[in-house]
Structures are given as C-alpha cells and as structure tokens.
C-alpha cells in the first residue's frame, strides 16, 4: 500500500530525475554579439596565416593609363600620425597652417567620402530654382544614387562654416570679409572639402559618368587623395590673352579626401591674404582680381607648389621642377604623388578647342556649361569664342 511517506519519497525521486535530464539538454547561453561566437578551426587557422601578410608593403599596381612620376621621388603623401590632444588655448598660439593640420587631419588611406557639394542661391526644392540648372543638378544624383548630395544656399553656407570652423575664427572672419558672392563660393569649395571631403562641383556642371569611373579601377584608392582636371591647355602664342596660366587646373569640379595638404594650403593662403587686405583697406569688388585671388589661377599655383614641395616629395633625385610642360597635350590620367590629374577632356568635353574630346569620349566625366553669372557676358562660353 502506497503510504503518504512513500508517496513523498517517490515524488522527490521523480523530480530529481527530471532536473538531471533537463540540465543535460539545456540550451547553451545566448550570445548577443556575433564576434563572441566561437570561430571554426579552419577560419582561425586561415586568419593566423594571413595576418602577417597584412603588414607587408607592396608597390601599388600601375595602370597603363596612369603615370606615377619618379621625379620627384616620393609616390605618396604620408598619413597623419595619431593625434595628440592639444588644449584649444595652446593650439590657438600655433600658426594657422598648424591649426588646420591638427583640426582637419589627412589620411590618404581613408575612403573618399560619399558627398556631393554644390552651391546656389536657391535649393532644387525651391520654386525659385532656375530651370536651366535642374537637369545638371539632377545628373549628380542620378550618377551617384548612394551619395549624399547637397545644394547649399548662401545663408546655409554661412552657418555651416560657423559650425565647421568655430575653432579657427580667422577662417570665419575671412569668409565674412570677402566682398563678392563668387569669392565666397570659391572659398566655400575649398573649406567644405578640407573639413568634410567628397566632390565639389559647380551648379552648371553635369555628371556624365560616376566618380567611381574617373580613376582606373586598378589604381588603389588608398594611394591618392585628390582628383583634379585640366581647365585649359592653350598651346598658342596669345594664350595669356585668354588664361592666367599656360596650364590651368579647373576648380569647378574637385574630388578630395578631407584634410588634403593642397586644400589646407589654399585655405590658409586665402585667409591670410583676405585679412591682410582687410586691415589695409584694400579689399575690393574688382571682378578681374577673382581669378588670381580665389579662383583657378591661385588654385593652379598652389597645386604646382605642392608638386614641387620637398616636405611632400623627395627632391634629391629631381631633374627639375614639375611644370606645365609635364601636362600639356596629355590625353590620359597622370598621377603625381597622391594627386590624380585628368586630361582636359575629363572635365571640359565638347569645348571644341585645345584638343578636348566630345561628350561621348571615354575620358569625358563632367560637362561644364560655363554659365558663370559673375562674368561679363563676353567672357562666358569661353569654349565657343576661343577657337584655333
């Protein structure tokens, strides 16, 4: 007969067996992070074998369409060393270029930021946005669907600069002091690329191909930090009547990684020159001075200075400075240090002069419609009036 005492003993035995069985089949603890999962032995072995090779440095593969000059000898601008924190009060005592280098460090191995920056009086969402720019503006989004594309108005640009350069008040003072909107627009493109990187392109430009196609795919993206194009290559005796430099680099389209030394130098140059003229009372609204003050003439000079700067290039084996002669007549891309220079066809197709190809040329990437409203009417559409 099953007594009460025996029933209790039997129940205890059954419960004990149940817990023993359950504990032997319990699910393993839940892992919330993928990195915490145990790795298969094969994967662990592969990782261990491959990790040392990541430390090896190899010469970047060369593309038949890209020339990497050995004179000057350096092939790459070094990335910045790990930043040491400097108190703002101490940083403010340093020269402007040193402040910019600290605040906006450059890393050639970083990716190109997926930004497209443009400026105009109104945004495309505004009913006042000019119809003649709608197609060109939209082309950048169509060709770069994964990029952040911003059209910045003058008012927004002012506030954006205050946000990005709050720690460098000289920059803001110079930006506010520039007397003409076109000067501010020039300065803005250098400033936004220095701080954020990406692509700047004028509102009257149309993207013909994605920026991914601008540089051959077999050129490592961690070997260059800037892409520029030739605006003018006027191989004729009267070239100075039309352009400021024998070879002139365009600044209506620029691609750069943030902090590039060329951008740092042109920002410092414009800032110091603007504040100097402001203190002297010589800042004027002279349209003719724009090209030399903030435009393509200054841009070209800064780039050539960079190409011949011993701080970035080994000049010990140099046979002479890099000059316009290294670029005249070029039809394919050339790589100088960490800057890729594109031929005139790339950013100026269809101008029917200076050996530029047409819009359907394989090297045509950006179409410029020359609608610069700050220029006198006779100086617009320069490709149509500058003929051989």
- Say if 23 falls within a structural domain: no
| Counted domains in the chain | 1
What is the spatial distance between Cα 259 and Cα 286, in angstroms, rounded to a whole number?
Answer: 30
What is the spatial distance between Cα 94 and Cα 82, in angstroms, rounded to a whole number?
Answer: 19
Q: Is 96 exposed, middle or buried (0-12, 13-18, 19+ CB in 10 A)?
A: middle
Structural domain harbouring 156: 97-313+321-372
Among 273, 281, 277, residue whose Cα is nearest residue 96 = 273
Per-residue pLDDT of the chain (388 residues; tens, 9 = 90+): 555 556 555 555 555 544 444 444 443 333 333 333 333 333 233 333 333 332 222 233 333 334 443 334 444 555 555 678 899 889 899 999 999 999 999 999 999 999 999 999 999 999 999 999 999 999 999 999 999 999 999 999 999 999 999 999 999 999 999 999 999 999 999 999 999 999 999 999 999 999 999 999 989 999 999 999 999 999 999 999 999 999 999 999 999 999 999 999 999 999 999 999 999 999 999 888 999 999 999 999 999 999 999 999 888 887 889 999 999 999 999 999 999 999 999 999 999 999 999 999 999 999 999 875 545 444 443 433 333 3
pLDDT value of position 88: 87
- Say if 84 falls within a structural domain: no
- Say if 44 falls within a structural domain: no
- Say if 25 falls within a structural domain: no
- Say if 11 falls within a structural domain: no
- Say if 162 falls within a structural domain: yes
Q: Are 225 and 338 in contact (CB under 8 A)?
A: yes
What is the spatial distance between Cα 232 and Cα 235, in angstroms, rounded to a whole number?
Answer: 9
Length of the chain: 388
pLDDT value of position 16: 53
- Say if 189 falls within a structural domain: yes
Question: Residue 182 belongs to a domain with what CATH number?
Answer: 3.90.550
Q: Output the pTM of the full model.
A: 0.78
pLDDT value of position 14: 56
- Relative to beta strand 334-336, strand 339-342 is antiparallel
- Say if 60 falls within a structural domain: no
How is residue 313 annotated by DSSP? S
């Amino acid at each position: 007969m099953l007594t009460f005492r025996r029933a209790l003993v039997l129940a205890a035995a059954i419960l004990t067996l149940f817990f023993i069985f359950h504990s032997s089949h319990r699910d393993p603890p839940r892992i919330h992070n993928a990195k915490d999962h145990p790795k298969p032995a094969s994967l662990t072995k592969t990782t261990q074998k491959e990790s040392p090779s990541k430390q090896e440095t190899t010469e970047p593969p060369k593309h038949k369409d890209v020339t990497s000059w050995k004179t000057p000898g350096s092939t790459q601008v070094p990335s910045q060393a790990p930043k040491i924190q400097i108190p703002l009060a101490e940083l403010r005592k340093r020269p402007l270029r040193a402040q910019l280098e600290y605040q906006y460090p450059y890393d050639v191995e970083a990716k190109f930021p997926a930004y497209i920056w443009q400026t105009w009086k109104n945004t495309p969402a505004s009913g006042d946005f000019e119809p003649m720019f709608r197609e060109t503006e939209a082309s950048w989004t169509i060709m770069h669907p994964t990029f952040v594309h911003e059209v910045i108005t003058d008012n927004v640009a002012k506030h954006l600069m205050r946000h990005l350069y709050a720690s460098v008040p000289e920059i803001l003072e110079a930006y506010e002091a520039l007397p003409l909107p076109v000067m501010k627009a020039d300065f803005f493109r250098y400033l936004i690329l220095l701080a954020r990187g990406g692509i700047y392109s004028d509102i009257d430009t149309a993207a013909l191909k994605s920026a991914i196609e601008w540089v051959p795919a077999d050129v490592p993206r961690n070997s260059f930090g800037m892409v520029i194009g030739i605006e003018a290559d006027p191989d004729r005796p009267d070239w100075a009547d039309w352009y400021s430099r024998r070879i002139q680099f365009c600044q209506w389209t620029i691609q750069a990684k943030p902090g590039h030394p060329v951008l740092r130098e042109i920002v410092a140059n414009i800032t110091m020159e603007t504040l100097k003229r402001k203190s002297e009372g010589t800042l004027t609204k002279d349209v003719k001075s724009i090209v030399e003050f903030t435009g393509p003439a200054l841009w070209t000079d800064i780039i050539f200075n960079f190409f011949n700067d011993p701080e970035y290039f080994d000049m010990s084996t140099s046979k002479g400075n890099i000059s316009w002669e290294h670029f005249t007549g070029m039809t394919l891309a050339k790589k100088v240090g960490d800057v890729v220079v594109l031929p005139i066809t790339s950013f100026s197709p269809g101008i029917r002069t200076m050996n530029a190809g047409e819009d359907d040329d394989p090297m045509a990437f950006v179409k410029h419609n020359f609608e610069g409203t700050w220029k006198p009417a006779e100086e617009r559409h320069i490709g149509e009036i500058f003929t051989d």
